């Protein structure tokens, strides 16, 4: 039986980073992956999603260009070309992840791994022993438990559709739902986004939610709010979806974007003392230790903050704690910036206005809504929203939110400033770059 200092289950972002970093310290490391190197983000998440977003945005070029003097004619869109090029890029990234592991000295196993207890991991029909085991299996899309749910697809299958349908019903109101609805709408598909709430992006700042919901309703897609599907039935040419208010919708394809759950099935947890929380995530302490001695977990499978950069930071913290001989430290989950690649896009860092008020913070709110310069002579009607949340007593900026073009690129820089404790006074003293949308963040003087 082979023995390792560390054996990692799951070669996604967190697992690969932990394996490589540990191996670079001279630690003997093995890793097992049953699907694809790079995990969700590289294969059926962030990377292909962003490529599809880029593709969908080209549809707006002719209209935008007219006011600037250009006469651009788009002759058509070929889905197969996009699929082929996307698949080539993902294969390239898969190869890079594989080379990174091999070049760092990590032994790679392709197959499903499960815990057998007492530091034993079984991969296919082979067993290995490890002093420490790290679970980094990520998450998996879930479907609502309604009749006919198996007729719908999830985000996983969306990236491999043979052809684009004429009409799609996207069910959900989170970031995956609004991103996919925007992609499909931009690619010319008759798109309906259906969500049980009255505004999309539950959990985000309320002004952000209101603004994005209004912009989506102007984008050409059908925004169907306040109801939930109860059943899906085939109707010969497509599907009929029944809703809880008695109405029905006919569509060619149903895409469920109704959440993800930690992927813990077939891990052999029954052979261990590992405990799950009420959402099915593996319970860990601040050092990523599970309730089974010698077994650790990080990334989406522990359901703390489901973002690829978070998993990467958790992996580096885990390696530092376990193999560098330094005093143990937990992960800092404060002021983590995130983006939603909807159309228009959303980015946020820090707390929302509602979170601040619920925490008893006395806040000043600065908010601006405007048409960006690019929208003026192009005739575009998309509005940008920028918002700053300030602790009135300390003058510290505790939240920044944006809906608009390049929101993620703009908020990333401000995220570092918030992490450093920037005050509104310092923000006001910062000279803006003109003319940009970003300068609005340093020119808002009066609280609303």
Active-site residue numbers? 434
Compute the distance between CA of residue 168 and CA of residue 180 in angstroms, rounded to an integer: 10
CB of 180 closer than 8 Å to CB of 255: yes
Counts of helices then strands in the chain (DSSP H, E): 13, 21
Compute the distance between CA of residue 223 and CA of residue 214 in angstroms, rounded to an integer: 10
The two three-digit tokens of residue 272, written as one number: 């261990």
Among 328, 383, 350, 300, residue whose Cα is nearest residue 46: 300
Compute the distance between CA of residue 314 and CA of residue 335 in angstroms, rounded to an integer: 15
3 state DSSP class of 171: strand
Among 110, 132, 108, 111, residue whose Cα is nearest residue 120: 132
User: Given the structure tokens 């959440």, which residue do they identify?
Assistant: 259
Compute the distance between CA of residue 22 and CA of residue 417 in angstroms, rounded to an integer: 31
User: Given the structure tokens 């023995």, which residue do they identify?
Assistant: 3
Length of the chain: 448
Among 108, 113, 136, residue whose Cα is nearest residue 126: 113
């Amino acid at each position: 039986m082979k023995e390792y200092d560390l054996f990692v289950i799951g070669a996604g972002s967190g697992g690969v980073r932990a394996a490589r970093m540990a191996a670079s310290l001279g630690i003997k490391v093995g890793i097992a992956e049953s699907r694809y190197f790079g995990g969700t983000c590289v294969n059926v998440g962030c990377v292909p999603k962003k490529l599809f977003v880029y593709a969908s945005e080209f549809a707006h070029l002719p209209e935008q260009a007219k006011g600037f003097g250009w006469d651009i004619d788009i002759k058509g869109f070929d889905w197969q070309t996009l699929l082929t090029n996307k698949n080539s890029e993902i294969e390239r990234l898969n190869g890079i992840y594989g080379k990174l592991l091999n070049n760092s000295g990590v032994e790679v196993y392709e197959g499903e791994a499960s815990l057998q207890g007492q530091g034993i991991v079984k991969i296919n029909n082979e067993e290995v022993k490890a002093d420490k085991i790290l679970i980094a299996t990520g998450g998996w899309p879930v479907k609502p438990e309604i009749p006919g749910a198996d007729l719908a697809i999830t985000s996983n299958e969306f990236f491999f559709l043979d052809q684009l349908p004429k009409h799609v019903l996207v069910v959900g109101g989170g970031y995956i739902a609004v991103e996919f609805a925007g992609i499909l709408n931009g690619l010319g598909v008759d798109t309906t986004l259906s969500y049980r709430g009255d505004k999309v992006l539950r959990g985000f700042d309320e002004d952000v939610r209101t603004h994005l919901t209004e912009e989506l309703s102007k984008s050409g897609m059908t925004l169907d709010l306040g109801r939930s599907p109860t059943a899906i039935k085939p109707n010969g040419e497509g599907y009929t979806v029944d809703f809880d208010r008695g109405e029905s919708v006919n569509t060619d394809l149903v895409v469920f974007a109704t959440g993800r759950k930690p992927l813990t099935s077939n891990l052999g947890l029954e052979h261990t003392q590992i405990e799950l929380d009420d959402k099915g995530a593996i319970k860990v302490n601040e050092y990523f230790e599970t309730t089974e001695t010698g077994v650790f977990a990080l990334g989406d499978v522990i359901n703390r903050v489901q973002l690829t950069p978070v998993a990467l930071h958790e992996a580096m913290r885990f390696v530092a704690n376990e193999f560098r001989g330094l005093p143990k430290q937990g992960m800092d989950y404060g002021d983590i910036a995130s983006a939603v690649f909807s159309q228009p896009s959303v980015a946020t860092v820090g707390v929302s206005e509602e979170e601040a008020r619920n925490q008893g913070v006395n806040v000043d709110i600065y908010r601006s809504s405007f048409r960006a310069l690019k929208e003026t002579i192009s005739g575009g009607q998309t509005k940008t929203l920028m918002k700053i949340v300030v602790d009135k007593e300390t003058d510290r900026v505790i939240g920044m939110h944006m809906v608009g073009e390049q929101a993620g690129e703009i908020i990333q820089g401000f995220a570092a400033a918030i992490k450093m404790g920037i005050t509104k006074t310092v923000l006001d003293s910062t000279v803006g770059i003109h003319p940009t949308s970003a300068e609005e963040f340093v020119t808002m003087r009066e609280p609303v």
